[in-house]
């Protein structure tokens, strides 16, 4: 096999069909919602990379600190021959793992963005010429068919992205992960942790307005893909801490009463002045809650590591 293979499990029009369904359902529900997956067109992915460098946005730095400190232990604990990374994106986080996983034979990055996968795969092969990279263009929530690869396998879901799933979606996801894992395999999970509201709000509403631009970008995606006429200037970015559910919500608030036309869906969407669309939840976790959610899916929490100031955690779980 050539060192870099790419398997497309998404039919070519999958994303447009899924966007149409999500927008039609989300903007006609009450309250209105949009799923966060649609942030990540090329501009959105670029804005997210900018967010990870912001002083207020601590999760990326905190997770990198843990990976650098614990990659050797993770390698020893798992002896992984295959690393599967869900939502790999730029695979920047993965480098620390790949450097430590000295027995690694195959890397399987999974992402909906084929361009991100190709770029990341080429870059990693340059540094790890002996590695086999089998990239999967897939939506990890859509049920995963992993390519044949030597075990034991380590399934990594980093960045705190599991926090984007609502509790019921997390349950389904963790059960699908458990069904994927065989004895000897492991799940490496990145979770942002509950902390003071001020720190959380600053991380999702930075002083430079990068997160605001990231949030509004979903309107541009819908304008481009569905010929809608959203005016991003007529919406304000908001970050809200829901202390009961322990999650951050990103919202877009309509600054006036307005009607947005979405011709591709033959839809006109009315917004009252001040009405808000929820565009993302980012759940924050506690150790016992993670242990419980993993346990309910048939996974056992084996290791729990945090950064020096306990802002973020990596956990290792097995069947």
Taking the least distance from each CB to ligand AVJ, the nearer of 59 and 109 is: 59
Is 93 labeled as ligand-binding? yes
* 42-to-32, 90, 159, 231, 262 alpha-carbon distances in Å: 25, 12, 19, 20, 22
CA atoms within a 13 Å half-sphere pointing along the CA-CB vector of 268: 3
State the minimum distance, in angstroms, from the CB of residue 211 to ligand AVJ. 5
Q: Which residues touch 43 (CB under 8 Å, ≥6 apart)? A: 217, 220
The answer to whether the annotation marks 282 as part of a ligand binding site is yes
Q: Which residue is nearest to ligand AVJ (CB)?
A: 282
CA of 119: how far to CAs of 18, 125, 133, 134, 262, in Å? 24, 10, 12, 13, 33
Reply yes or no: is the peptide bond before residue 152 cis, omega within 30 of 0: yes
Residue 57 marked ligand-binding: yes
For residues 211 and 315, which CB has a smaller minimum distance to ligand AVJ in the complex? 211
Query: Is 177 annotated to bind ligand?
Result: no
Taking alpha carbons only, the member of 137, 155, 113, 122 closest to residue 6 is 137
- Which residue number, 131 or 252, has a Cβ lying nearer to ligand AVJ? 252
CB of 38 to ligand AVJ, least distance (A): 12
Q: Is 140 annotated as a binding residue?
A: yes
Spell out the residues 6+ positions from residue 130 whose beta carbon is closer than 8 angstroms to its own. Answer: none
Minimum gap (Å) between residue 152 Cβ and ligand AVJ: 26
58 labeled binding residue: no
Question: To the nearest whole angstrom, how small is the minimum distance from the Cβ of residue 290 to ligand AVJ?
Answer: 15
Q: How crowded is residue 274: how many other Cβ atoms within 10 Å of its Cβ? A: 11
Binding residues for ligand AVJ (CB under 6 A): 51, 59, 159-161, 163-164, 204, 211, 250, 280, 282
Which residues sit in the known binding site for L-histidine? 57, 164, 204, 280-282
Which residues sit in the known binding site for S-adenosyl-L-methionine? 87, 93, 111, 139-140
Which residues sit in the known binding site? 57, 87, 93, 111, 139-140, 164, 204, 280-282
């Amino acid at each position: 096999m050539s060192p870099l293979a790419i398997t497309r499990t998404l039919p070519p029009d999958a994303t447009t069909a899924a966007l149409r369904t999500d927008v039609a359902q989300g903007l006609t529900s009450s309250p209105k919602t949009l799923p966060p997956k649609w942030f990540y067109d090329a501009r959105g992915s670029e804005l997210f990379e900018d967010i990870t460098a912001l002083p207020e946005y601590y999760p990326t730095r905190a997770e990198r600190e843990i990976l650098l400190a614990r990659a050797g232990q993770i390698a020893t604990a798992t002896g992984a021959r295959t690393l599967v990374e869900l939502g790999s994106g730029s695979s920047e986080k993965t480098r620390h793992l790949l450097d430590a996983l000295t027995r690694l034979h195959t890397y399987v990055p999974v992402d909906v963005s084929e361009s991100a996968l190709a770029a990341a795969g080429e870059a990693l092969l340059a540094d790890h010429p002996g590695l086999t990279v089998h990239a999967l263009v897939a939506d990890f929530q859509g049920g995963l068919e992993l390519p044949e690869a030597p075990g034991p396998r380590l399934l990594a879901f980093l960045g705190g992205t599991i926090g984007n799933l609502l509790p019921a979606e997390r349950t389904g996801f963790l059960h699908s992960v458990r069904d994927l894992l065989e004895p000897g395999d492991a799940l490496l999970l990145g979770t942002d942790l509950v902390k003071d509201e001020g720190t959380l709000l600053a991380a999702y509403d930075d002083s430079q307005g990068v997160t605001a631009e990231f949030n509004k970008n979903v309107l541009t995606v819908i304008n481009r893909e569905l010929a809608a006429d959203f005016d991003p200037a007529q919406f304000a970015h908001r970050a809200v801490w829901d202390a009961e559910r322990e999650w951050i919500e990103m919202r877009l608030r309509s600054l006036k009463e307005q009607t947005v036309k979405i011709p591709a869906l033959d839809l006109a969407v009315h917004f009252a002045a001040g009405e808000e669309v929820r565009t993302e939840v980012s759940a924050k976790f506690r150790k016992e809650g993670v242990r419980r959610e993993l346990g309910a899916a048939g996974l056992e929490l084996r290791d729990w590591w945090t950064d020096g100031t306990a802002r973020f955690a990596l956990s290792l779980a097995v069947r």
